């Protein structure tokens, strides 16, 4: 099974520290311990780009072939204030991919869907669309079961990902046509701002 990077390695390599060679400074969010990984060993998850809800389960890789090879060149153009359409598309596509395929993106979008399912269930239940649950559940309606926590909605994180993948060009278009605020960090030894979106 492939370990797919939800943050491009070409992006991560920009954070290598001159004092560490081909390594970067990082902080593990689970225990706040520092470590010095290479780009290959972080920001990746098993089968991250694979989605069985799609006919072609790794189709997002076709989109990435248009983005990843142009990434460093686009960052250089951004730094030099020599921004063109290719630069904008590449960076907007990078952001769209992270929002859709990172663990945080899938979790956040799953929560949105969960809320939608719960509210739709309450609305339909108020119209008596559903039959009463079995007596083993105390004869309560679905709304009561949701409210008490006896019934919980769980969303497969890959489902909102497939929605995002099917709209990835639209997301990239939205980002590309939005106003950007660009922050530069000129500290060569640690050029990282943050990448707290991953967990």
The 3 state secondary structure assigned to the chain is CCEEECCCHHHHHHHCCCCCCCCCCEECCCCCCEECCCHHHCCEEECCCCCCCCCCCCCHHHHHHHHHHHHHHHHHHHHCCCCCHHHHHHHHHHHHHHHHHCHHHHHHHHHHHHHHHHHHHHHHHHCCCCCCCCHHHCCCCHHHHHHHCCCCCCCCCHHHHHHHHHCHHHHHHHHHCCCCCCCCCCCCCCCCCCCCCCC
Q: How confident is the model over 98-109, as pLDDT tens digits?
A: 999 999 899 999
Residue 30 has pLDDT above 80, yes or no: yes
Q: What is the pTM of this model?
A: 0.82
Q: How confident is the model over 127-149, as pLDDT tens digits?
A: 999 988 888 888 889 999 999 99
**Residue ranges per domain, the chain?**
1-40, 56-182
């Amino acid at each position: 099974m492939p370990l797919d990077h939800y943050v491009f390695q070409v992006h991560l390599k920009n954070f290598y520290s001159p004092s560490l060679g081909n390594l970067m400074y990082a902080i593990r969010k689970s225990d706040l311990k520092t470590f010095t990984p290479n780009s290959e060993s972080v920001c990746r998850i098993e089968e991250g780009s694979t989605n069985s809800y799609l006919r072609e389960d790794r189709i997002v890789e076709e989109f990435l072939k248009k983005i990843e090879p142009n990434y460093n060149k686009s960052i250089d153009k951004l730094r030099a204030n020599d921004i063109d359409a290719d630069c904008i598309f590449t960076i907007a596509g990078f952001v769209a991919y992270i929002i859709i395929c990172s663990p945080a993106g899938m979790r956040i979008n799953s929560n949105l869907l969960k809320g939608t399912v719960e509210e739709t269930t309450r609305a339909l239940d108020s119209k008596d669309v559903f039959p009463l649950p079995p007596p083993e559940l105390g004869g309560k309606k679905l709304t009561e079961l949701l409210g008490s926590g006896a019934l919980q909605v769980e969303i497969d994180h890959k489902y909102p990902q497939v929605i995002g993948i099917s709209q990835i060009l639209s997301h990239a278009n939205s980002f590309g046509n939005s106003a950007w605020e660009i922050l530069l960090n000129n500290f060569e030894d640690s050029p990282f701002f943050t990448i707290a979106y991953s967990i």
